[in-house]
Chain A
């Protein structure tokens, strides 16, 4: 048993002969799936620290097989919040959210290193999925970049050729993973500027890149006016965006199935929309949810119109830490931005709802006690866009094909 299991554990880039020659402890001799299961239960910081225990241990944490086991559990246990800030230069801050500490406590924000350096001096955020962060460069044809700050490797996705004779007016993105096919895909919907003399280029087109075969494929025209810049909700292997509904101020919910690559309209609840900008999609406990002003609608059973229910109303609250001074200058965003005043991020284990307030404060709301908690995170910039991130050890090199 011992000799057979030892060869299973270390099929990574570490020198095999060296690793196998060491005498090992029982924990490292456990069947691979048991050993991986134990490691996957560790808080993320302990997992990273434990790489120093031994060569075999180090190799296991870096094993792609372990990465896949870990990510399933990590999305439940290791909540992080990623903060994006773009002034004067683009930066990402990561904050670990320890939900076990009384009521949930956010640790100090740390700035993530930009591994792309001069190739990506300024960037915008496409999204975060299974620990992988996808960025794009607005200055350079919206080229895409993917990396995991906690695993080796960072990659630039291939450039894409759009209609050469049409001017791109804006681009809408999506980045996600399908749990069945285990495939990561990036989608990019290109809207062209409409000129009187350029009808041909006016129809928006969708391009998809699969990580297993990273080349851009044009999947055809898309009849929806999606609101960008990026998809906010990934549910059941489907990305979701809000779309402008004809001449009305209402919005459609449009889904894109990562497996079949089909767009679909998703039934939605009957809500009142006062301000057309005041609406947002989010995933709460795995369910597609719609936030309209301060009301949270949740659909328990996907695609069933009757399963939408208004579950939570967030009361009026101005966090004490909210400050209007020191505002950075207004920055126009080519692809638009998700500027809703109250932007819901996720549901916490204790039932609270975590949201960002006016891009300045992070607040959690307890729907039972109707209490608010102002999360003062040390080290954050004055303004930010927050998204949920699940730290993983999945390396972009193992999921993205090609060189």
Chain B
């Protein structure tokens, strides 16, 4: 085995292997608990059965930067630098990948990236028109006109005699 003590091998659903620093892999709670369960064993390979190689690579990229930035900006400024990186990171991810990534991150239980991805998805709903949301997520409007009017009434209900604007 090529890996030293502070390395671990993550195996994607296709069987592709990624050698990762423990400092990076330990951010994935599922990997952490698998390794804790088989402590003492020389075999440091963790199979991520349902996660495709593409997403394993993305997640490693995120946490590699996370760990590096944290080290580099120990004195302060880590959060701003991380925000900058997260912005770039999200720019290269398309809609389809966002979906795959959120499933993978949820499965691996990686809180920081989960937060980033869920916020990114929410940004596609926030202050967007209902029509945009339907189109972006490929949702078919299954309301009848009457039902739609009724729901609009539901939140108009909250206010007394005011306009919708």
Contacts and interface: CB of A to CB of B under 8 A. Distances in A.
A31 B109 CA distance: 13
Interface in B127-141: 127-128, 130, 133-134, 137-141
Given A22-B140, A38-B122, A57-B139, A113 B160 contact: yes
A172 to B, nearest CB: 29
- In the complex, which range does the number of interface residues on chain B fall in? 35 or more
Contact of B137 (A25, A42, A49): A25
A253 interface: no
A52 B126 contact: no
Contact of A27 (B121, B127, B130, B147): B121
- In the complex, which range does the number of interface residues on chain A fall in? 35 or more
B152 A25 contact: no
A55 B143 contact: yes
Interface stretch (B29-37, B40-48, B56-64, B98-106): B98-106
Interface in A9-48: 22-28, 30-31, 34, 37-39, 41-43, 45-46, 48
Contacts of B130: 49-50, 52-53
Given A25-B137, A46-B126, A57-B139, A30 B103 contact: yes
Interface in A31-86: 31, 34, 37-39, 41-43, 45-46, 48-55, 57-58
Nearest to A27: B137
Contacts of A37: 114, 118
A34 B152 CA distance: 26
Contacts of A26: 99, 137-138
A50 B118 contact: no
B140 A38 contact: no
A24 B139 contact: yes
A110 B156 CA distance: 11
Contacts of B118: 34, 37-38, 41
A30 B105 CA distance: 12
Contacts of B162: 110-111
Contacts of A49: 130
A62 to B, nearest CB: 9
A250 interface: no
Interface in A89-118: 94, 110-114
A24, A50, A53, A55: residue with the most chain B Cβ atoms closer than 10 Å: A53
B139 A54 contact: yes
Contacts of B159: 94, 110-113, 149
B122 A34 contact: no
Interface of B: 99, 102-103, 106, 114, 118-119, 121-122, 125-128, 130, 133-134, 137-143, 147-148, 151-152, 154-155, 157-162
Given A50-B125, A54-B140, 14 more contacts: A27-B137, A30-B103, A38-B118, A41-B122, A46-B127, A52-B148, A53-B130, A53-B139, A54-B134, A55-B143, A113-B158, A149-B158, A149-B159, A150-B155
